[in-house]
Amino acid sequence: MRHVVVISTGGTIASRWQGEGYAAEAAGSEVLAAGAVPEGVEVRVVDLFTVNSSRVTTAHQLSLLHAVHDVLADPEVDGIVVTHGTDTLEESAFFVDLFHSDRRPVVFTGAQKPLDAEDGDAAGNLYDALLTAATGSDLGAVIVFAGQVFAARGTVKKHTLDARAFGDPDGLPLGRVEFGRVSWGRRRPRAAALPLPPADAPHPRVDIIAHHSDGDAVFVQAALAAGARGLVIAGTGAGNTTPEIVDAVRAAVAGGVPVAVSTRVAAGAVAPLYTGGGAVDLVAAGAQLAGTLRPAQTRIALLAALLATPRGQDAGQTLHTVLSAAPQALSRSELYLADGVGH
């Protein structure tokens, strides 16, 4: 018998109609009862909180992180499933992954349709997540959705409503769940976990600022005035902005506020190719490039670096370590994992 703990946090998978729209209200036991449990798996449910995931905060994520560590303190537990709303699932999963050193997996899943939908996807996604949590090892935190297993790092919500909601725009799934088993591709190496922050750690403000035509430094300055301790620039193209924004970034970094650069483009890495306000100038101003991380996960990387760095010390090196931990690309021979075609 394999022992899996489900940590319930709300989201669409726990949502019902409220008269004007859907909202999370169901307990984890109700979500679990909506579908089958894999044979040989025993499940215990922890109701941590119940919110629509668009309302998730750093406080929620710290609570979840410590709940995961508390559950894994029990050697009888073989894995964890976290049911979570899809809006910010990629952020919470990556946050947990950055602090996760245990060989036992933490599997995030959710649903695109509410719990009481006749054609819902909650039961199937939860079944696949339970199977992955019961049989996987050395995975870190992963996302299981629509029969695919993705590493938390790099995976984003790619469609607002479609059942195949998640994917890695620059990589392939780690595995597929089909016919009652998980088929794995080549595993990706994982970076060392960050030190666990206290449950009551202060919540540093980290803002994302998107560049666009006519973009200027106003929002950079506003974020700093609001007390931001870290900034993410979502640049155009390969991470480009304007000379005015570069000047504001230089001042922020000089003032001890780390800055990371991502891109608003759906796929591809940021790269120091252009001057005139481009990534070449942003790097010279002290910003760090986020590789293939999209803006929301770049923000999580910066948030985690701040939480893992004692107050008064430079979080820049911690951020560099997190951003440098790029996963090894999977071979194209493993494309069957992405399109469902067998060997």
The encoded tokens of residue 123 equal 């039961």
User: Which residues, 6+ apart, have CB-to-CB distance to 151 below 8 Å?
Assistant: 97, 139, 140, 142, 143, 168, 171, 174, 188, 327
155 is catalytic: no
- Whether 260 and 233 have beta carbons less than 8 Å apart is answered as yes
- Whether 232 and 241 have beta carbons less than 8 Å apart is answered as no
Q: How far is CA 175 from CA 147, 310, 317, 335, 339, in A?
A: 9, 37, 33, 10, 11
| Active-site residue, from 9, 12, 109, 155 | 12
Question: For residue 264, how many C-alpha atoms fall within 13 Å in the half-sphere facing its CB?
Answer: 12
- Whether 207 and 232 have beta carbons less than 8 Å apart is answered as yes
* Continuous segment of H or E residues that includes residue 42: strand 41-51
| Active-site residue, from 9, 58, 83, 86 | 86
* Phi then psi dihedrals of residue 148, to 5 deg: -120, 150
86 is catalytic: yes
Buried/exposed code over 64-79 (b: 16+ C-beta within 10 A; e: otherwise): bbbbbbebbeeeebbb
Around Cβ 133, how many Cβ atoms within 10 Å? 30
SS3 track for 202-219:
CCCCEEEEECCCCCCCHH
Q: Does the annotation place 53 within a ligand binding site?
A: yes
Binding residues for substrate: 53, 86-87
Q: Which residues are catalytic?
A: 12, 86
